[in-house]
Amino acid sequence: MSNYVPLLVTIIGAIVAGITYVVQKKIDRGETLLREKKEAYRSYLAALTDVSRDALYASIDDAHMRVLNETNARASHAYDSVQLYASEQVLRTAAAVETALLDWRLSLSEEQKHGDADARKNFLIKRSELIKEMRIELFGDESVDLATSASLQRMLWNGAK
């Protein structure tokens, strides 16, 4: 029996090391996915900001329209990345943001340089809802309180004027 003790200790050590390796790889993969998701969300929100800024100037001339088209392409690519990582709720909210953005952009014209105010406000509200959903997904329900969401929505609402 005493001859088997070193062998048993070695086998148990190998099993523990194998389990530890598998668990650590799973943790590392989860952290990598979370980092990639955060970057996809950050890129998409930045692209939305750029599109909403560039849309205000697109009716001025062709050069601004070209800039908007480039920004739209970048936003579309960022949206595709979000679709790879997002939960169903974030995807539904992102689709609502895309629809609201399209409605607002369609209201832009020579006469109405900033577009329909209600359409723009709707876009900004949907964008704030998207940020809230992304925060819930990334950080959990505890990190998103009503005061933060309300102040974010007020900030976006006031920016629409």
Angle, in degrees to the nearest 10, between helices 117-139 and 5-57: 170
Whole-structure pTM value: 0.71
Q: Which CATH number characterizes residue 112's domain?
A: 1.20.120
Q: What is the pLDDT of residues 87-118, one digit of tens each?
A: 999 999 999 999 998 888 888 766 666 677 88
Between CA 40 and CA 149 the distance in angstroms is 21
Q: Say which amino acid occupies 21.
A: Y
Q: What is the pLDDT of residues 122-145, one digit of tens each?
A: 988 999 999 999 999 888 876 565
Instruction: Name residues whose C-beta falls within 8 Å of residue 111's C-beta, 6 or more positions apart in sequence.
Output: none
Q: Domains in the chain: how many in total? A: 1
